[in-house]
Amino acid sequence: MKNLIAELILISLLTAVVLLGIHEYSSSPSYTPVVERTEQVMGTYASITICDRNTTRANLALDAAFEEIKRIDTLMSLYNESSEVAALNRNGMNWTPLSSDTIYVLTKAGYYSRLSNGSFDITCNPLVQLWMVKVREEHRMPTPDEIKEASELVGYEHLIINEELSRARFDKEGMSITLGGIAKGYAVDRACEILLEAGIKHALVNIGGDMRAVGDKNGAPWEVALQNPRNKAEFILLLELENESVATSGDYERYFFLKDRIHHIINPKTGHSADECMSVTVITPRCIDADALATAVFVLGPEEGKALLDERGLKGLIIASDKRLIKSEAFR
């Protein structure tokens, strides 16, 4: 049994190293039992670590937190036909009734679209599908017409959200959204709220590298290592987290080569993969904000991205495509 647990812990640590932009750094000795679980969800791995004297309570809290992550995934997955996002995309200009969770995420997304002047835009789905599905399958660059056609279906101002009646629709035919740049952060926040409700005071929730620390790790901060985007085995920085979140957007998780590196973060202004950064890490209290901001800054590029972080006194680290390491003022 002990061997099995050791093996599981090792496997989950290795998965974290291999798959995540950031992973939980191996821990300092702790005298309170640590309960950890990793599951595959939201197209990636989620792991939750809890320090609590009461392991029964910790395990029940883990169950509830994973249930919550799955509930969010069921609402927001693009690929699940019965999700609210799929319904909204199908219904187009007709209203789609939505849960308060989805309304909240759509509203946050709209806020970050305005803040980033359209660099963050969940309606970029037609461009994501063009690059990450069609171009990838057909092994050819898209024609300017294909890019133009998809770009014409992008524009956050065409997504109409009615908060009072909890529903949304597009005001233009053929549009669709993807919450890939924000839903993981929201799911991390929800999981943390469930843990707090269950009386947990020390935990780390990690979904695909988007993380939030509940409290500290029994007196010491949670430590997470930031990977080198071009050599994942190498860590370039150790972050200490306590009651805060971190998210990373990178060009090295979902990509392929066709002339240039093509990856899943799209610049809605050019209709191509955003090419000014290799990775962007943002630290905020809530994970939904870090997730959306990391994507937004990645698209804006090092100069405009840093300016956005500095205007709001936010902590962030940008690794530019030319390998420059740029820290926001608050990060220094």
Taking Cα atoms as reference points, which of 237, 191, 187 lies closest to residue 214? 191
Residues of span 162-201 touching ligand ADP by CB under 6 A = 178, 180-181
Decide if residue 268 touches ligand ADP (CB under 6 A): yes
The piece of 2-10, 95-103, 289-297, 301-309 that touches ligand ADP (CB under 6 A) is: 289-297
Nearer to Mg ion, 19 or 196 (CB): 19
For every residue of 223-246, DSSP letters joined together read EEEEEETTEEEEEEEEEEESS-EE
* 209 near Mg ion, rule: CB under 5 A: no
Which helix (H) or strand (E) segment holds residue 222: the answer is strand 222-228
Given a contact cutoff of 8 angstroms between Cβ atoms, the answer to whether 283 and 291 are in contact is no
| Of the residues 213, 289, 291, 315, which one makes contact with Mg ion according to CB under 5 A | 291
CA distances to 139, 243, 250, 253, 271 from 142, rounded to whole Å, are 9, 44, 23, 22, 10
124 touches, from Mg ion, ligand ADP, none (C-beta below 5 to 8 Å by class): ligand ADP
Residue nearest to Mg ion (CB): 295
Asked whether the beta carbons of 284 and 241 are under 8 A apart, the reply is no
Q: Which two tokens stand for residue 116?
A: 């980033």
Using CB under 6 A, pick the residue from 49, 102, 245, 295 that binds ligand ADP: 295
Provide CB contacts within 8 A for 46, sequence distance 6+: 38, 39, 40, 66, 69, 187, 191, 205, 206, 207, 208
Amino acid, single-letter form, for residue 252? Y
Q: Which of 155, 181, 215, 229 binds Mg ion (CB under 5 A)?
A: 181
Print the binding letters for residues 96-125 with ligand ADP: x by CB under 6 A, - otherwise: ------------------------xxx-x-
Footprint of Mg ion (CB under 5 A): 181, 291, 294-295
Footprint of ligand ADP (CB under 6 A): 120-122, 124, 128, 178, 180-181, 208, 249, 253, 264-266, 268, 291, 294-295, 299
